Amino acid sequence: MDRIDDTHDASLESWVDSANAHDTDFPIQNLPLGVFRRAGSSESFRPGVAIGDQVLDLLVARDAGALPAAVADTLAGCERGELNAFMSQGRAVRVALRRALSQGLRRGSALQARMQGGLVAQTEVEHALPCRIDGYTDFYTGIHHATAVGKLFRPDNPLLPNYKWVPIGYHGRTSSIGVSGQAFHRPQGQTKGASDTPDFGPCKRLDYELELGAFVGTGNPLGRPVGMAEAEEHLFGLVLLNDWSARDLQAWEYQPLGPFLAKNFATTISPWIVTMEALEPFRTRFERPAGDPHPMPYLDSAFNRERGAIDLELEVWLQTAAMREAGIGPERLMQSNFKDAYWTVAQMLAHHTVNGCNLQPGDLLGSGTQSGPDIGQGGSLLELTCGGQKQVRLANGEARTFLLDGDTVLLRAQARRAGFRRIGFGDCAGTVLPAMAY
């Protein structure tokens, strides 16, 4: 089904002038959702939509009569500063809000005067998590990352036999998920010492992981799997996700049960959820390399083959403390593309529920690290430095094998296609603080 409509029209312009800039992440064709309040205030967080360099307060727009009554009613429950109640209502409700916002924000709209009072500059706001996240699962869909990391441990057989058959994942920790701007202390714990006697102390091999996060919209009852024919209807939208990793803790603890303290100390997401509707023009064919196994029937559909992948350019940027002090902006470390993922977001959701697991509105599915096929496209320092064996050199003369205190990592993404407006996600930024005294 072709879901591209007039809200994606590249010729659309907004009366919010900054939304018409060629380099904005948030033109009128995007309209991502999040929650915000004025920075430094004690106000309650409120639902909003990013438009250019502004945020439109959806409750102000609703109360001013700028939204159709039926659309306004769907925002009930969002006054608590979380989008779960809206997310649970499904795609049709989301499409109706998108259309109402697109029409009201277009240049020449009769609703401009009613909406104008709901605008706040993005530089004047702070964000919270866009929704209550009761469940977080991190997948491993980046085959180039899985291969590169596997080669460090199993040079002759980097991918385990199940990788091309099953979307591998593990359950993560929701309490330590934070929004862009998150600052966290360097984790500490056990690492492998001499022989098999461990050492204890701050992590020495702290890393980032370039991922996307998919938010669940409509949930499913316990015991009822979601098939591929329905999976797209249960997806709400995407964010950038940095799954910070303590590599030395991970190496000691991950067998036999997988990640634990190496992963649960911090996860950072971008504040704006780019809806699946905004991403429609950038859907593309999902194809496996020749000779690879075809997905099992419960992980396959005609729609997923034709439009299951998403063409998203992904980037990692680094700003060290010394760069910040010298007034030097962040430096780009790598680029990759989400269309190279080995599993789609619909396959992640379908597999998660095939055993009867009940997903809920606001649950978060991490994609796993999204590396590219070429040298220099690693989505983590573990890959860029070949396991810490070589350094990444920065333009100011600094070098890194793993992250140092004061480092800020920024993830960025943009979608492009001829004939459509470029859209982006905004920054997903996080900063490493020194370890806390134990």
| DSSP-assigned letters across all residues of 101-123 | HHHHHBTT-TTHHHHHTTEEEGG
159 touches 146 (CB < 8 A): yes
Per-residue pLDDT at 2 exceeds 90:
no
Percentage, residues of the chain above pLDDT 90? 94
408 touches 319 (CB < 8 A): yes
Per-residue pLDDT at 27 exceeds 90:
yes
Radius of gyration of the chain (CA): 22
127 catalytic residue (yes or no): no
CA 122, CA 152: separation in Å to the nearest integer? 43
Whole-structure pTM value: 0.97
Q: Output the pLDDT for position 285.
A: 97
Percentage, residues of the chain above pLDDT 70? 100
Q: Output the pLDDT for position 438.
A: 78
Q: Which residue has the tokens 């009822």?
A: 224
Integer angstrom CA distances of residue 141 from 163, 185, 334, 382:
9, 28, 18, 17
Contacts of 147 (CB under 8 A, 6+ apart): 158, 159
Integer angstrom CA distances of residue 55 from 48, 61, 194, 240:
6, 11, 54, 19
Q: Which residue type does 355 have?
A: N
Q: Output the pLDDT for position 153.
A: 78
Q: What is the pLDDT of residues 127-144, one digit of tens each?
A: 999 999 999 999 999 999
124 touches 38 (CB < 8 A): yes
Percentages of the chain per state (helix, strand, coil), in multiples of 5: 25, 25, 50
Could you tell me where the DSSP H helices lie in 106-220?
112-116, 143-153
- Torsions phi, psi for 214 (to 5 deg): -110, 125
Q: Which residue type does 418 have?
A: A
Q: Which domains does the chain have, with CATH numbers?
A: 6-127 (2.30.30.230), 136-433 (3.90.850.10)
CA 177, CA 136: separation in Å to the nearest integer? 9
Per-residue pLDDT at 1 exceeds 70:
no
Contacts of 264 (CB under 8 A, 6+ apart): 172, 173, 176
Read off the pLDDT of each residue in 407-432 and give the average, rounded to a whole number: 98
| pLDDT band, residue 88 (cuts 50/70/90) | very high
Closest CA to 367 of 393, 337, 398: 337
**Which entry of 145, 234, 351, 352 is annotated as an active-site residue?**
145
116 touches 25 (CB < 8 A): no
Q: What is the pLDDT of residues 200-211, one digit of tens each?
A: 999 999 999 999
Per-residue pLDDT at 437 exceeds 70:
yes
